[in-house]
A and B are shown apart, each in its own frame.
Chain A
């Protein structure tokens, strides 16, 4: 199988120095974004401290964003069902390359795969929004 086809994927260049310079430029952009977020949005990702005694449920703060899809999932499917679906989703993610073995094809040429991918992304976004709504309502 042809791994990289310059006619399809674009021309090649030497890793040193051209490739590394490209990556350094992209990295510079990322560092500017990181410093910009730190300076311009100093309140981001900074929550108030826990009340004395560490009673986490007593606080009024919304859970951090990364908890929201999980909280949405367990709100819709409490207990074992939510856990089972979560584990199944992780197994499906890991097993993806074994689902359809064959030559490399972009998603737009594989309608079924594209539908499954978009459904999974919509489900994830829905869980995120549901969790956020339930935790702030």
Chain B
């Protein structure tokens, strides 16, 4: 590592940044980790889609987290209040309609994007030694994105999601849950993002450690 000169200008005492950098080396570490990092170049417009699937999934996850935080401020997970609280938010908050729609559409797109990313990894054979844990953390993210979609779909208490759950319970010989299950769905929907963030951190840390097999 190149150490910054103690007195770069040759005059007076070194500035506070130079003093700190000589002791911590944070700027140097940042330069080596990010500024000098090489990633595969994209050639042609189609590659902006099919070679960026992982990065696009990450971006959509961020959109989901931000819009979800906004919805969390207004949503009430109580039977009779769930959909009403969202409708009230749409009527009273400027842009609320757009954010709710973006959250719903984005939640439905996310598992598809992650699935396409996984298919690309399968097609290119990029899950092999030494990337087994990348694959496992990615599969966990895929499952979590589906679980988020299922739990989030139940929250507005509309027919499509609840009918699916009731039919599945019937097929398994269980009693179909009532709307008192909203609290559980809400808890899952709030808890799963933490699992996703943990899996995402592990996934990105391993991508950083082992290098990219594919563009972002």
Residues of A at under 8 Å CB distance from B?
Answer: 1, 3-4, 9-16, 18-19, 22-23, 25-27, 29-31, 33-35, 37-38, 42, 44-50, 54, 56-57, 59-68, 70-71, 74-75, 78-79, 82-83, 90, 93-94, 96-98, 100-107, 110, 117, 135
Contacts and interface: CB of A to CB of B under 8 A. Distances in A.
A85 B158 CA distance: 30
A110 B125 contact: yes
B163 A103 contact: no
Given A23-B52, A35-B102, A46-B104, A56 B162 contact: yes
B159 interface: yes
Interface residues of B, number: 75
Interface string B157-185: 11111111111101111001011000000
A94 B139 contact: yes
Contact of A27 (B56, B105, B131): B56
A64 B161 contact: yes
Contact of B128 (A14, A61, A65, A103): A103
A65 B109 CA distance: 12
Contact of A63 (B102, B111, B167): B167
Contacts of B167: 57, 63, 67, 71, 135
Contacts, number: 213
Interface string B71-105: 00000000100010000000000000010011011
B129 A4 contact: no
Given A3-B210, A82-B171, A11 B41 contact: yes
B83 to A, nearest CB: 5
B149 to A, nearest CB: 6
A94 B137 CA distance: 9
12 contacts: A4-B212, A16-B37, A19-B39, A30-B60, A34-B105, A42-B101, A47-B158, A54-B179, A61-B159, A64-B161, A66-B153, A104-B124
A23 B136 CA distance: 24
Given A29-B48, A56-B176, A57-B170, A16 B132 contact: no
A129 B212 CA distance: 36
Q: Is the interface of B mostly helix, strand, loop or mixed?
A: helix
B55 A34 contact: no
B150 interface: yes
Contacts of A135: 167
Given A54-B79, A66-B111, A66-B150, A49 B125 contact: no
A133 to B, nearest CB: 14
A93 B139 CA distance: 8
Given A27-B56, A61-B163, A107 B40 contact: no
B39 A13 contact: yes
Contacts of B216: 19, 22-23
B162 A54 contact: yes
A33 B37 CA distance: 30
B37 A15 contact: yes
B159 A50 contact: yes
